[in-house]
């Protein structure tokens, strides 16, 4: 943001502008908005705070102003308040010094002109009571009354002596010249002298009255202005308290308390700070709000109450739910409950009881740096990572966890409005990240041809199949279909960058969701996942980036923004915001929430440009919305989840042994099973065996295809597949940023796969919607399972 061009200050002008104010030794100088008015220098964090939150004020009448250097200066009122300020240039600093000196001189004169009661600063304190003010008013009225009586007396004297002077002048006209002349002239002179004295007294009395009236008029005006300002402050304070009360009530109703061990490590590491700023500024800095970047692209305000009085038939959107109270069942819930195909209305059948626990995670300590420090300058493509950094699930199983909140798609399938359906689809995209908040363990990289099925037809009405369809680059295809009218498919590859302190994981590929009844076809991509504190400290996960959910049939779009975590941010951690628009760009719904807890939607009744300027200088859009309704809320983790890799209820069941699954299923993977049982040394040995077996199979496959492997390709072959964390790089570590070996770029991913492998259950086609090459389910798996015919499956374990 460019500095505003400040005019040359003039006496009595209000002067405003940006200055850098010293806060503390951690943050140093921070940018603040300063306002100089009526002899007072006040400052705010932003211009928008001027209407409600003043961060500090200093009275210039008693302040000392000292210049330190070309840009720095200090303002102090004798010890209780000291502002260390810095201007952007010497010219700007001189403008401020001139304005401050003029304001100080004016404030000093105003204080000197006031009487000894000291009313020039503030009106009497509230503790002195109304009696003190009444006494002051009565005394002033008595003084004014005496002055009025003096004026009345002077008026009578002037009238009396004026009449006598007039008579003397009349007599002088008729006098003959002679002895009487001197006597008459003496009388006229005497009368004129008396008239002059009386007139002077009258003038002095008038001057005293005028001075007294002016003095008390200033005092009363200041007292009245102070009362008005106090009333405005009280009204604003009351409004703020009401908002805070409402916010606390909502937070209390929806709060979920996490154990201390689950709190964010970045927040836990906060400590007290010290600086040379004033005490009030230290308090504000402990909140660490200042460094927050403006990530929200729009502002929402409550809509006009007239919209709330409309009936459900007068407004379109999320059905009649918009006008319902919180306790009323939504239309979608009613539809699901009354749906004859819903499992609640079907004849009850025995449902398999799933496990709710796995063996506790062993307490084996191992630091990544202890492995990496011995690998500097060496070829790392053949160095396997131990299972100590894994969790006992494969990447295919993690991909299947996207269906944790499948109910959102069930509700979406029942929606009559495509915009309403978009809200549920957007909430589903956010919900898939909720399981990652505490999951710092790396999933096992699938072997080529490995599969994973998730059959939940009896319990939830859907079944899902994943297969590792490529090794270079590593890619997994996923297909899920539900009896309730939706299909989900995706092919995901991973790229990553190791940047010294953290690891960034960028998923490549599109996710498709098709609804059978409406034929609406949605696509979106995943955001970047960042693993912090790779070398030192406690690992923690963050999601950041933007998602565009597009309905290719109607042109509707939802733009979601995942705000990156900021240590100094005033916003809620892990915040997600979004706007649902139609094909013409008109906003219909605003989404807000967090990717680890819940999402809400609000119906947009009116939108306009205005409000605060964003980081790029453009005005934000202001949306007038109805009361927010909840779309999705995260299910609490099971008891003891911190000892079970923070697995959700669904994740605990994914590696449970089942009869009839394919021999390539992840549940049959021996190293993963050994790790789940706590036998990590055996798991590491088994993991190395599987990796070597995979390399042997690949070389055999290449020989059969009469393709000799080039040395460069062999050098790129990773030890545990091609996933980023299993092999760091095939080149030496360099500086702060090192790309991980075998990570696919967007170009490599779209150009096709390099393996001589034909997928068992998926075929590679060009997607008609996105134009990208992708693997689509070709059928046959569930029929093979029903017949128990797995003869064509490769032996990968």
The pLDDT tens digits of the residues spanning 284-317 come to: 434 333 333 444 566 676 766 655 544 333 333 4
**What is the average per-residue pLDDT within 435-447?**
90
Separation of alpha carbons 380 and 733, rounded Å:
9
Structure tokens at 480: 């899920």
511 alpha-carbon distance from chain centroid:
26
Helices and strands counted in the chain (H then E): 18, 28
pLDDT value of residue 612: 54
Kindly give, in sequence order, each residue whose CB lies less than 8 Å from that of residue 699, ignoring residues fewer than 6 positions away: 709
What does each C-alpha distance from 625 to 320, 500, 595, 633 come to in angstroms?
16, 44, 22, 21
pLDDT in tens, 556-586: 999 999 999 887 777 888 999 999 999 999 9
Phi-psi label, residue 712: left if phi above 0, alpha if psi -120 to 50, beta otherwise: alpha
Distance of CA 686 to the CA centre of its chain: 45
Please report the pLDDT score of residue 369 as a whole number: 59
How many angstroms separate the CA atoms of 738 and 98, rounded?
A: 53
Q: Kindly report whether the global pTM for this prediction surpasses the value 0.75.
A: no
Q: How large is the average pLDDT for residues 64-70?
A: 85
Edge-to-edge strand ranges of the sheet holding 28-37: 56-59, 40-44, 28-37, 15-24, 82-86, 72-76, 64-67
Give residue-wise pLDDT tens across range 313-372.
Answer: 333 344 444 334 443 334 444 443 334 444 444 455 667 889 999 999 988 766 555 565
Bigger pLDDT: 791 or 242?
A: 791
Residue pair 72/85 in contact (Cβ under 8 Å)? The answer is yes
**How many Cβ atoms from other residues are within 10 Å of residue 749's Cβ?**
21
Distance CA 692, CA 641 (A): 34
Query: What count of residues does the chain have?
Result: 797
Per-residue pLDDT, averaged over 767-789, amounts to 91
Percent of the chain with pLDDT over 70: 72
| Between 485 and 136, residue with greater pLDDT | 485
pLDDT at 4: 45
pLDDT band at 615 (very low <50, low <70, confident <90, very high): low
Instruction: Say how far apart CA 595 and CA 57 lie, in whole Å.
Output: 40
Pick from 126-140, 225-239, 608-622, 780-794 the range whose average pLDDT is largest: 780-794
Q: Mean per-residue pLDDT for 676-691?
A: 90
Would you say 120 and 110 are in contact if contact means Cβ atoms under 8 Å apart?
yes
Greater pLDDT, 178 or 644: 644
pLDDT at 274 over 80: no
Pull the structure tokens for residue 542: 């963050």
Q: Which of 495, 548, 487, 545 is nearest to 523 (CA)?
A: 548
Indicate if the alpha-carbon torsion angle 109, 115, 117, 123 is positive or negative: negative
* pLDDT higher than threshold 70 for residue 7: no
Segment 68-77 shows an average pLDDT of 86
Identify each DSSP E strand in 572-671 by its residue range.
575-581, 587-594, 598-613, 619-625, 629-633
Q: How far is CA 173 from CA 93, 219, 475, in A?
A: 76, 54, 128
Pairing of the two strands 587-594 and 575-581? antiparallel
Residue 406: other Cβ atoms inside 10 A: 22
Q: Name the least confident of 171-185, 419-433, 761-775.
A: 171-185
CA distance to 85, 184, 222, 275, per residue, from 56 (Å): 13, 76, 21, 16
Range list of β-strands (E), 99-235: none
Q: Is the pLDDT of residue 724 over 50?
A: no
Q: What is the pLDDT of residue 383?
A: 54
What gap in Å lies between CA 519 and CA 38, rounded to an integer? 66
Please tell me which of 75-79, 87-91, 291-295 the model is most confident about, judged by mean pLDDT.
87-91
Higher pLDDT, residue 589 or 498: 589
Instruction: Grade residue 227 by pLDDT with cuts at 50, 70 and 90.
Output: confident
Q: For residue 579, which of 597, 596, 602 has the smallest C-alpha distance? A: 602
- Ranked by mean pLDDT, the top range of 25-29, 154-158, 324-328, 366-370 is 25-29
What does the DSSP 8-state code read for residue 29?
E
Q: What percent of the chain has pLDDT over 90?
A: 34
Terminal Cα distance for the chain, rounded: 59
Q: Which DSSP string do the residues of 84-107 spell out, in sequence order?
A: EEE-SSHHHHHHHHHHHHHHHHHH
Highest mean pLDDT among 137-151, 247-261, 289-303, 619-633: 619-633
Show Cβ contacts of residue 657 under 8 Å, excluding neighbours closer than 6 positions: 667
Summarize pLDDT for 452-472 with one digit per residue, the tens: 999 999 999 999 999 999 887
Structure tokens at 81: 């308040």
- Confirm if 767 and 484 have CB atoms less than 8 A apart: no
CA torsion 157-158-163-168 (nearest 10°) is: 100
The Cα 556–Cα 566 span in angstroms is 31
Count of CB atoms situated within 10 Å of the CB of 107: 20
**b or e along 159-179 (b: 16 or more beta carbons within 10 Å of the residue's beta carbon)?**
eebeeebeebeeeeeeeeeee
What are the phi and psi torsion angles at 743 (to 5°)? Answer: -85, 130
**Residue 408's pLDDT is what?**
96
The yes-or-no verdict on residue 728 having pLDDT over 50 is no
What Rg, from alpha-carbon coordinates, does the chain have? 40
- For helices 179-254 and 129-174, the axis angle rounded to 10 degrees is 160
Phi/psi of residue 774, each to 5°? -150, 155
- C-alpha span between 492 and 511 (Å, rounded): 8
Q: Which helix (H) or strand (E) holds 774?
A: strand 773-777
pLDDT in the model for residue 729: 35
Q: How far apart are CA 686 and CA 689, in angstroms?
A: 5
> Residue 332 has what pLDDT?
45
pLDDT of residue 48: 82
Torsion of CA 237, 240, 246, 247, to 10 degrees: -140
Give dist(CA 375, CA 658) in Å, integer: 41
Give exposure, 18-51, as e/b (b: 16+ Cβ within 10 Å): bbbbbbbeebeebebbbbbeebbbbbbbeeeeee
Structure tokens at 292: 């927050």
Whole-number Å distance between alpha carbons of 396 and 762: 14
Nearest to 709 by CA among 720, 690, 695: 695
Please give the C-alpha separations between residue 5 and each of 8, 15, 89, 91, 173, in angstroms, as whole numbers. 10, 11, 12, 11, 75
Helix axes 331-338, 407-414, angle to 10 degrees: 90
pLDDT score recorded for residue 423: 96
Distance CA 679, CA 316 (A): 58
Residue 318 dihedral angles phi and psi, to the nearest 5°: -75, 65
Q: Evaluate whether 24 touches 9 at the Cβ level (below 8 Å).
A: no
Residue 714 CB-half CA count within 13 A: 8
Q: Is the pLDDT of residue 11 over 80?
A: no
pLDDT given at position 344:
43
State the chain's mean pLDDT as an integer. 76
Handedness of CA 68, 71, 77, 81 (dihedral sign): negative
Q: What is the pLDDT of residue 371?
A: 61
* Confidence at residue 167, expressed as pLDDT on a 0 to 100 scale: 75
Residues 6+ positions from 795 with CB-CB distance below 8 Å = 663
Closest CA to 423 of 590, 644, 653, 552: 590
For the residues 89-93, what does the mean pLDDT come to? Answer: 86
CB neighbours of 620 closer than 8 A, spacing ≥ 6? 296, 297, 298, 299, 609, 610, 611, 612, 613, 614
Predicted local distance difference test score (pLDDT) of residue 368: 59
pLDDT of residue 618: 63
Query: Would you state the pLDDT for residue 706?
Result: 61
Which has the higher per-residue pLDDT, 145 or 132?
Answer: 145
């Amino acid at each position: 943001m460019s500095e505003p061009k400040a005019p040359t200050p003039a006496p009595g002008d209000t002067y405003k502008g940006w200055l850098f104010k010293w806060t503390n030794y951690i943050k140093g100088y921070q940018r603040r908005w300063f306002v100089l008015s009526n002899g007072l220098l006040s400052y705010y964090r932003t211009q928008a705070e001027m209407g409600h939150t003043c961060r500090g004020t200093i009275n210039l009448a008693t302040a000392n102003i000292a210049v330190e250097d070309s840009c720095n200066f200090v303002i102090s009122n004798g010890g209780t308040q000291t502002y260390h300020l810095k201007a952007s240039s010497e010219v700007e600093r001189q403008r401020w010094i001139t304005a401050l000196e003029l304001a100080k001189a004016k404030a000093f004169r105003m204080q000197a002109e006031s009487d000894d009661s000291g009313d020039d600063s503030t009106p009497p304190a509230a503790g002195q009571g109304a009696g003190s003010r009444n006494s002051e008013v009565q005394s002033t009225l008595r003084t004014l009354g005496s002055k009025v009586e003096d004026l009345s007396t002077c008026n009578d004297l002037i009238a009396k002596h004026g009449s006598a002077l007039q008579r003397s002048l009349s007599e002088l006209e008729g006098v003959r010249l002679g002895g009487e002349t001197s006597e008459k002239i003496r009388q006229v002179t005497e009368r004129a002298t008396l008239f002059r004295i009386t007139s002077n007294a009258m003038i002095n009395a008038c001057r005293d009255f005028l001075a007294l009236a002016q003095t008390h008029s200033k005092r009363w005006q200041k007292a009245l202005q102070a009362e008005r300002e106090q009333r405005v402050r009280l009204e604003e304070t009351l409004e703020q308290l009401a908002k805070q009360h409402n916010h606390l009530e909502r937070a209390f109703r929806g709060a979920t308390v996490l154990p201390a061990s689950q709190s964010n490590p970045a927040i836990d590491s906060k400590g007290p700070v010290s600086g040379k700023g004033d005490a009030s500024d230290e308090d504000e800095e402990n909140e660490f709000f200042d460094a927050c970047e403006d990530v929200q692209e729009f502002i929402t305000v409550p809509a006009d109450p007239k919209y709330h009085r409309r009936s459900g038939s007068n407004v379109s959107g999320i059905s009649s739910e918009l006008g319902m109270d919180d306790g009323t069942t939504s239309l979608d819930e009613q539809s699901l409950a009354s749906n004859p195909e819903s499992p609640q209305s079907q004849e009850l059948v025995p449902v398999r009881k799933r496990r709710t626990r796995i063996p506790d995670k062993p307490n084996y300590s191992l630091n990544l740096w202890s492995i990496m420090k011995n690998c500097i300058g060496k070829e790392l493509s053949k160095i396997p990572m131990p299972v100590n950094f894994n969790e006992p699930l494969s990447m295919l199983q993690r991909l299947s966890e996207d269906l944790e909140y499948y109910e959102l798609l069930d509700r979406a399938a029942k929606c009559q409005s495509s915009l309403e359906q978009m809200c549920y689809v957007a909430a589903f995209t956010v919900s898939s990240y909720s399981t990652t908040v505490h999951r710092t363990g790396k999933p096992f990289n699938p072997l080529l041809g490995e599969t994973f099925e998730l059959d939940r037809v009896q319990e939830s009405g859907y079944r899902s199949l994943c297969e590792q369809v490529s090794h270079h680059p590593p890619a997994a295809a996923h297909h899920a279909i539900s009896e309730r009218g939706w299909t989900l498919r995706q092919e995901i590859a991973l790229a990553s960058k190791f940047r010294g302190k953290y690891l960034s994981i960028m998923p490549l590929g599109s996710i498709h969701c098709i609804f059978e009844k409406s034929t609406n076809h949605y696509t979106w991509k995943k955001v970047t996942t960042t693993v912090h504190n790779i070398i030192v400290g406690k690992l923690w996960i963050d999601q950041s980036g933007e998602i565009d959910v597009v309905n290719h049939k109607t042109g509707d779009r939802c733009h979601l923004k995942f705000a990156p975590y900021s240590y100094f941010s005033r916003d809620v951690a892990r915040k997600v915001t979004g706007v649902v628009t139609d094909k013409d760009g008109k906003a219909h719904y605003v989404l807000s929430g967090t990717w680890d807890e819940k999402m809400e939607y609000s119906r947009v009744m009116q939108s306009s440009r205005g409000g605060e300027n964003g980081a790029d200088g453009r005005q934000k859009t202001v949306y007038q919305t109805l009361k927010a309704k909840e779309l999705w809320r995260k299910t609490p983790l099971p008891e003891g989840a911190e000892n079970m890799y923070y697995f959700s209820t669904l994740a605990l069941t994914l590696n449970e042994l089942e009869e009839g699954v394919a021999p390539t299923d992840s549940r049959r993977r021996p190293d993963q099973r050994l790790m789940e049982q706590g036998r990590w040394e055996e798991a590491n040995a088994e993991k190395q065996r599987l990796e070597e077996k995979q390399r042997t199979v690949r070389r055999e496959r290449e020989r059969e295809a009469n393709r000799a492997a080039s040395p460069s390709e062999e050098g790129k072959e990773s030890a545990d597949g091609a996933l980023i964390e299993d092999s760091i790089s095939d080149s030496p570590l360099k500086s702060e940023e090192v790309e991980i070996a075998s990570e696919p770029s967007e170009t490599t991913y779209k150009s096709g796969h390099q393996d001589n492998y034909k997928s068992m259950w998926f075929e590679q086609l060009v997607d008609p919607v996105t134009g990208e090459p992708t693997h689509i389910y070709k059928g046959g798996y569930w029929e093979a399972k029903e017949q128990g015919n797995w003869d064509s499956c490769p032996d990968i374990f």
